[in-house]
């Protein structure tokens, strides 16, 4: 079934568009497309964004790993390095600091009619992508492989099974939620 899906590009594009629409809908419903909520997170006053992200991580883990164990999906971790992480973080952070949106929340905010996200966010995404394409040859030659660590997953770092990693991360995130509630966040 999935092999046939991989051969049908239009169906994949339609599925991708549908998933993107649902993703934006849930970002909006979770209120993380609102500038005030994002700024509250950055000021450590409103933890809605962290709660939504961590909930998505738990749901994703609990969904993808059983599918992987059944052989229905394959994970393809991307290789990484300290250098590429620093460059990506700087580009992301500068855009986030200037606008108050990350790329995902900016697009979601456009969907709810936020003009600052439309003009600043979409423009910023395009300018950031263009800037990265200009500096990429330098990054690829001098930065990308600095501190190269390859295709490492957390379970490999901690030398535990997938089940222990998923359950451990889920318990850690749930404990974090409890602490946020105890301290009134």
- In whole angstroms, give the CA distance from residue 53 to residue 31: 12
Flag whether pLDDT at 2 surpasses 70. no
Domain ranges of the chain: 2-182
Coil, strand or helix at 72: coil
Q: Average pLDDT over the chain, rounded to whole?
A: 88
Contact in structure between 32 and 38 (CB atoms under 8 Å): yes
97-156 pLDDT, tens digit each: 888 888 888 888 888 888 888 888 888 888 888 988 998 898 888 888 899 988 988 888
Other Cβ atoms within 10 Å of 144 Cβ, number: 16
- Provide mean pLDDT across the span 47-55: 92
Cα 102 off chain centre by: 10
- In whole angstroms, give the CA distance from residue 144 to residue 137: 10
Instruction: Tell me the CA end-to-end span of the chain in Å, nearest whole number.
Output: 44
- In whole angstroms, give the CA distance from residue 32 to residue 155: 29
Task: Identify the pLDDT of residue 1.
Answer: 57
Q: Which of 87-91, 153-157, 170-174 has the highest mean pLDDT?
A: 170-174
Contact in structure between 37 and 116 (CB atoms under 8 Å): no
Task: Identify the pLDDT of residue 139.
Answer: 84
Flag whether pLDDT at 28 surpasses 90. no
């Amino acid at each position: 079934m999935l092999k046939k899906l991989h051969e049908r590009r239009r169906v994949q594009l339609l599925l991708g568009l549908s998933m993107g629409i649902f993703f934006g809908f849930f970002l909006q419903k979770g209120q993380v497309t609102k500038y005030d909520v994002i700024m509250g997170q950055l000021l450590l006053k409103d933890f809605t964004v962290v709660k939504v992200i961590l909930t998505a991580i738990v749901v994703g883990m609990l969904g993808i790993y059983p599918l992987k164990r059944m052989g229905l999906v394959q994970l393809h971790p991307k290789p990484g390095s300290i250098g590429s992480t620093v460059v990506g973080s700087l580009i992301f952070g500068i855009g986030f600091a200037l606008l108050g949106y990350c790329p995902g929340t900016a697009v979601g905010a456009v969907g709810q009619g936020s003009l600052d996200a439309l003009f600043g966010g979409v423009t910023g995404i395009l300018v950031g992508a263009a800037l990265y394409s200009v500096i990429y040859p330098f990054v690829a030659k001098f930065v990308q492989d600095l501190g190269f660590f390859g295709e490492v997953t957390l379970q490999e770092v901690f030398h535990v099974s997938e089940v222990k990693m998923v359950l451990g991360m889920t318990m850690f995130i749930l404990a974090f939620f409890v602490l946020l509630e105890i301290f009134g966040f």
